Amino acid sequence: MFKKLRADINAAKKFDPAARNKFEIWLTYSGVKALSWHRWANFLYRIKLKTLARLTSQYAKLLTGIEIHPAAKIAGGVFIDHGTGVVIGETAEIEEDVVIYQGVTLGGTGKEKGKRHPTIKKGAMISAGAKVLGGFTVGEYAKIGAGAVVLKEVPPYATVVGVPGLVVRVNGEKPDIDLQQEKTDPVHQEICHLREMVFDLEKRLNELTEKEKEEK
């Protein structure tokens, strides 16, 4: 547990340019505090004291604004920056050197059983407000843009943006077509459908107007 705490503090020092020293990080950083409480809650959960583990996680949530299920698997060396509004689900797995910003949700998409929360591989970055929903994997050193909603697997070294999330870069280059996520946007489809209806109504209105003129 203390080894992971040192790794978390080192990660904060590494990824936050505002960090001045390790003592200040340990004393003031809510992400480090939340992870420390999670290590204890996870221990309680693994020895079958699940109610006490949940109480510990909820107490940590009140202190830090970060909610982590006690069963989530989080390696040492993860950095949660600012952290307010971060939610990490029960079957989520996070490897070392991952950076998570405020408002991020690592959640599920319903009431399915089993692995229903994402696995975040080493070095990935999840930007502010992003929602990663489902039991898939976000690859090594992938970047999820702010506010993105990711519903499918993300390749290593990819950059994902938008709602729904689309892979726009892999290793800094535009991806091959087979690496791109589904491009169907239901909102865009609905707008196109409404536009076609407006065009059809305008056409029918013009026809009726012309017919009235002819009758007069």
Query: What's the pLDDT tens digit per position in 84-120?
Result: 999 999 999 999 999 999 999 999 887 778 899 999 9
Beta strands in 89-186, from DSSP E residues, in sequence order: 93-94, 99-100, 105-107, 119-120, 125-126, 131-133, 137-138, 143-144, 149-150, 158-161, 166-170
Question: Are 77 and 142 members of one domain?
Answer: yes
Question: Are 103 and 206 members of one domain?
Answer: no
- Using N-to-C axis directions, what is the helix angle for 2-15 and 30-46, rounded to 10°? 150
Question: Are 50 and 153 members of one domain?
Answer: yes
Question: Are 69 and 28 members of one domain?
Answer: yes
Helix, strand, or coil here: 149?
strand
Helix, strand, or coil here: 180?
coil
Question: Are 125 and 213 members of one domain?
Answer: no
Question: Are 33 and 76 members of one domain?
Answer: yes
Query: What's the pLDDT tens digit per position in 154-164?
Result: 999 999 998 88
Q: What is the pLDDT of residue 1?
A: 72
| CATH assignment of the domain containing 170 | 2.160.10.10
Confidence of residue 52 (pLDDT cuts 50, 70, 90): very high
Q: What is the pLDDT of residue 177?
A: 47
Instruction: Work out how many domains the chain is built from and give that number.
Output: 2
pTM: 0.75
Range of the domain at 204: 184-216
Q: Which of 79, 82, 171, 75 is nearest to 121 (CA)?
A: 75
